[in-house]
Amino acid sequence: MSKPRIGYTTRNFTLDPMQLAIDLSIRMAGGVPVRLRPQKPRYDESIKGLIIGGGTDLFPALYKDSPKVDYQYDQARDDMEIKWLERTEAEALPVLGICRGAQLLNVSRGGTLHVDVSKVYENAKYPANIIARIFFRKAVNIECGSLLEKILKTQRIDVNSMHSQAIDEIGRGLTVSAKEDNGVVQAIEDPDREFFMGVQFHPEVLIYRACFRCVFMRLIEVAKKA
């Protein structure tokens, strides 16, 4: 069977380290990566799976909240990703949301976000320095029977932390599949879809561990059927 083309969304930056990590993750899992960015959204039918990557905060009006002062949002990217999500919903294509992407999956289903997770949960002040973020790890608890548990084959695992926002009210048709000890949502999924998952952590920079490579491998398996 030919390798499925997997679209992955990024900022407009020419070179983005996280973009390269997602690109590599797709290739290692047996897919063909297709970069999607506001300047080149590529709305073509050859793409059989979607990964919405991390980046800037979602524009708060999408979930009826107020914009932060002096913050540079990327509404062009928001619009592009929402259009892609509409297509995946219509065609039941596999979708993986990473960090910002997980938040967008939730918002697209009518859910909301915590604008500053440290003000809502105890012990939720994570490293702000990029170097510290790379090496920081925290434990998450995975729901028994969830797709995430079936993929990672564990109910507790250490993940990275590169976010300041988090999911609040859960969107339509979604369930929480992982949380931190303090209650911060770390993964959501649609149990009625074969693969519709959002993770608050970044599995693309954890692919040195086989279990995280399996997240991308499962997405590719489902994309081959599309």
* Percent of the chain clearing pLDDT 90 (strictly above): 79
What mean pLDDT do residues 142-152 have? 98
- Over 90: is that where the pLDDT of 95 sits? yes
**pLDDT averaged over every residue in the chain:** 93
Q: Is 194 annotated as catalytic?
A: no
> Quick one: pLDDT at residue 101?
97
For the chain, the domain total comes to: 1
Instruction: Give me the torsion for CA of 200, 185, 141, 211, rounded to 10°.
Output: -20
Residue numbers of the domain that contains 41 = 5-223
Catalytic residue among 81, 163, 180, 202: 202
Query: Residue 221: which residues within 8 A CB-CB, separation 6 or more?
Result: none
List, in sequence order, every residue forming a beta bridge with 100; answer none if it has no partner: none
Q: Is residue 52 scored above 80 in pLDDT?
A: yes
User: Of 99, 114, 149, 214, which residue is the catalytic one?
Assistant: 99
Burial class of residue 86 in the structure, from the number of CB atoms within 10 Å of its CB (0-12 exposed, 13-18 middle, 19+ buried):
exposed
Pairing of strands 185-189, 138-142: unpaired
What whole-number distance in Å separates Cα of residue 2 and Cα of residue 168? 39
Q: Band the pLDDT of 1: cuts 50, 70, 90.
A: low
Q: Are strands 32-36 and 5-9 parallel, antiparallel or unpaired?
A: parallel
What pLDDT digit, counting tens, does each position of 114-123 carry?
998 888 888 8
In the predicted model, is pLDDT for residue 130 greater than 80?
A: no
Catalytically annotated residue among 81, 189, 204, 221? 204
Domain harbouring 176, CATH code: 3.40.50.880
Q: Counting every residue, how long is the chain?
A: 226
- Is residue 131's pLDDT more than 80? no
Residue 169 is among the residues annotated as catalytic for this protein: no
pLDDT of 184: 95
Tens digit of each residue's pLDDT (9 = 90 or more) over 73-92: 999 999 999 999 999 999 99
Residue 163 catalytic? Answer: no
SS (H, E, C) 35-48: EEECCECCCCCCEE
